[in-house]
């Protein structure tokens, strides 16, 4: 009986000391991280035959009344295609972008925005903060795609996929700018 009382007392003291600690957590990031898959929602599918073929992990900065392209994200400069860490793209199977075959694996997705076109960059270096240590010699492919200007403002940087099976098109939109990046899954 005394043993049980001692154990209960020790547990209560431990619980009180845990409650007394002052934990300090970082505030919510202003550019929250997000994940998009192709096919869209593949991991949530109840169909066991639908596996993800591409995954993009990125942070979603907000417009917040700012002028984005040409000002915040300068034309002609390499951009991480989001906020915080460089955007990460994972190919679960080999893909083709332009005329370049890319092996299955994880890469950085960077872009160079211009007013009427963007250069899409798939780069070997991952786990980088921003594009500050970008190394062009690690590029696997660069592809220039046209810009579509839209009338409805896209408040947060957004990435999704469209297209038919085996022919995904990654769509990147922010502010009043949208680009489409066509892949072929091999």
pLDDT value at position 24? 87
Which backbone phi and psi does 12 adopt, to 5 degrees? -65, -45
What pTM was computed for the model?
0.84
Q: Residue 110, SS3?
A: strand
Domain ranges of the chain: 26-185
- pLDDT at 20 exceeding the cut of 70: no
pLDDT value at position 179? 98
- pLDDT at 16 exceeding the cut of 70: no
**CA–CA gap between residue 44 and residue 111 (Å, rounded):** 29
Q: Which of 9-18, 99-108, 147-156 has the lowest mean pLDDT?
A: 9-18
pLDDT value at position 71? 94
Q: Please answer whether residues 110 and 148 qualify as being in contact, where contact means their C-beta atoms are separated by less than 8 angstroms.
A: no
CA 40 remoteness from chain centre? 14
Find the Cα–Cα–Cα–Cα dihedral 7, 10, 14, 17, rounded to 10°: 160
pLDDT value at position 2? 62
| Cα-Cα-Cα-Cα dihedral sign, residues 56, 62, 67, 73 | negative
Q: Please answer whether residues 171 and 162 qualify as being in contact, where contact means their C-beta atoms are separated by less than 8 angstroms.
A: yes
Residue 51 token pair: 């596996």
């Amino acid at each position: 009986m005394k043993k049980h009382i001692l154990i209960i007392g020790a547990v209560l003291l431990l619980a009180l000391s845990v409650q007394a600690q002052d934990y300090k957590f970082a505030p919510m990031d202003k550019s929250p991280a997000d994940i998009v898959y192709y096919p869209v929602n593949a991991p949530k599918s109840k169909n066991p035959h639908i596996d993800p073929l591409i995954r993009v992990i990125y942070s979603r900065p907000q417009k917040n009344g700012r002028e984005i392209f040409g000002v915040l994200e300068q034309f002609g400069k390499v951009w991480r295609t989001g906020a915080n860490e460089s955007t990460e793209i994972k190919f679960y199977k080999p893909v083709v972008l332009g005329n370049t075959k890319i092996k299955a694996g994880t890469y950085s997705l960077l872009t160079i925005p211009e007013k009427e076109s963007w250069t899409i960059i798939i780069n070997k270096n991952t786990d980088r903060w921003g594009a500050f240590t970008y190394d062009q010699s690690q590029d696997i492919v660069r592809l220039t795609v046209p810009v579509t200007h839209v009338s409805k403002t896209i408040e947060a940087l957004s990435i999704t996929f469209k297209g038919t099976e085996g022919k995904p098109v990654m769509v990147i939109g922010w502010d009043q700018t949208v680009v489409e990046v066509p892949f072929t899954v091999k």
